[in-house]
Amino acid sequence: MDVSAPVTEDAPESAVPLSLAAAPPPLAAAAPRRRERAASPRTWRERLMVRWVGYFPLTWAVGLAFVFWPVAALLSVGSLRRRLPWPAATALLMAGALALSVVVGVAAGLGSPARVLGAATNISVWVAVAGIIAAVASRGMGDDFLRALVWVGLANSSAAVIGWLLGSHASPLPLLHGLQYSAPEPARVWLDNLLAEQAWFGGPVVRSAGMMAYPTWQGAVSAASLLLAIALWQRRDIARRWVLVAQIATAAFGVYVSYSRVVWMGLAVALAVWLVVALSQRMPGVWLFTGLLAVGVAVTAYALRDHVASLLASLDENRPGSSQTRESIYADTLALMRTHPFPLLGYGIKATREGSEINIATHSTYVGIYYRGGLLAVGALAVFLLGPVVHALRHRSAAVAAMATFPLVPLAFQDYDPGHLLPLYTVAVFALVPLASPRPPRSAR
């Protein structure tokens, strides 16, 4: 019996629509909260940690968003004292690789106080993610976490709309914006009260950053929150329909006014994954068709590679110099890693490029993690990003698979820095489809 219909005990099979959520059995079955109450007792620190996620808009409004991840890491310590599920262990391995690499970076003379503080904040992201996953996966706090994340997503995309309306005018928030230039370097970006910036995208445009400090970050979080709203469409115990409608509408606008091509591309890929997985539940041959179509597209692109190169060059004209800058950063970063004495680790700390204000190891999470944490961190990141995709696909969860797939494209061209809330949406995969959920029977696949 397919239970992707709204969660009721007697839902008939004929009532199952091909809806936006196309939810799998584990997603629908996660609704009854009696199962969560049966989990091991929650500590006050774990309850506060999950609530802290929902406090992000408040910390941003005050001007303290830069402490969000370090505080979350401190609150997660209690959850890390027990046996960890594999996603949490992977995040903790990432934190360890980055911490050891910082020692290498300091020994190499890269250890200015501001740089070390930035690296420590980045490490706190992975410690916090490990703790939140542990609480969600083994302490039955998935529903509480999802409610907090819905609120955060709606607040961010609403701020993006407001920022676009304000344009070049300053916002009264964050309240502590007057301290922007006297605060430590990692905190300054979070005290800027200009929520949008004038930019060029084939013409003058207004790019809105909302609460995320940078338009690309805002677009990525808005896209992830849009996909989360789709995944929660049948979960009325988490959020009311009007809240999800508001989330989808504001998030779609936020994605657009980010003017981030990689975010648009990532969202398109995620929606394509959702469609294929949803159709595969009713059309078993759709995977074969999709594979043949992908091979055909690849062969055609190779045969027309000169035309494809011209098309990509024309797209780059919307923001001149973007691809050349990225290629130069990647080349310099990889050149430094070729001389690293111990490639399992990295340098831990970003360095400034000679003759430029742009840092090494930026504009790509994959290249940046290799520089900051070495091959050990690259392996941990691969498991952390691909594991949720495999987990969602094994449970035939279309919307959740789309949400798990989304980060793979944007992270090729942007950073997974401390300001990003995108890791929280990877955690949401395990709240929507718990690790302990049984796989659906073959007849349901």
The residue written with tokens 């542990």 in the block is 134
Q: If pLDDT is split at 50, 70 and 90, which confidence band does 400 have?
A: very high
Backbone φ/ψ region at 235: left (φ over 0), alpha (ψ -120 to 50), beta: beta
Q: Which pLDDT belongs to residue 308? A: 62
Does the pLDDT value for residue 18 go beyond 60?
Answer: no
Where would I find the H helices in 167-260? 185-188, 215-231, 241-258
The upper half-sphere exposure of residue 200, i.e. CA atoms within 13 Å in the direction of its Cβ, equals: 9
- Residue pair 378/405 in contact by the 8 Å Cβ criterion: no
Among 53-62, 171-180, 245-254, 279-288, the minimum mean pLDDT is found in 279-288
Does the pLDDT value for residue 303 go beyond 80?
Answer: no
More confident residue, 357 or 12: 357
Q: Which pLDDT belongs to residue 445? A: 47
The upper half-sphere exposure of residue 103, i.e. CA atoms within 13 Å in the direction of its Cβ, equals: 7
Average pLDDT of every residue of the chain: 83
Among 70-79, 153-162, 222-231, the minimum mean pLDDT is found in 70-79
Q: Which pLDDT belongs to residue 25? A: 46
- Among residues 357, 358, 368, the alpha carbon closest in space to that of 418 is found at 368
Does the pLDDT value for residue 17 go beyond 50?
Answer: no
**For residue 288, how many other CB atoms are within 10 A of its CB?**
9
- Residue pair 258/207 in contact by the 8 Å Cβ criterion: yes
Does the pLDDT value for residue 319 go beyond 70?
Answer: no
**For residue 113, how many other CB atoms are within 10 A of its CB?**
9
Mean pLDDT calculated for residue range 360-371 = 89
pLDDT digits (tens, 9 = 90+) for 255-300: 999 999 899 999 999 999 999 898 887 777 666 666 766 777 677 7
Does the pLDDT value for residue 251 go beyond 50?
Answer: yes
Mean pLDDT calculated for residue range 369-384 = 95
Whole-angstrom Cα distance, residue 348 to residue 112?
A: 12
Whole-angstrom Cα distance, residue 269 to residue 122?
A: 27
Q: Which pLDDT belongs to residue 78? A: 79
Backbone φ/ψ region at 361: left (φ over 0), alpha (ψ -120 to 50), beta: left
Q: Which pLDDT belongs to residue 79? A: 83
- Among residues 211, 284, 217, 244, the alpha carbon closest in space to that of 61 is found at 211
Report domain extents, the chain. 17-308+322-444
Q: Rounded to the nearest 5 degrees, what angle is found at the Cα of 264, between the Cα atoms of 262 and 268?
A: 115
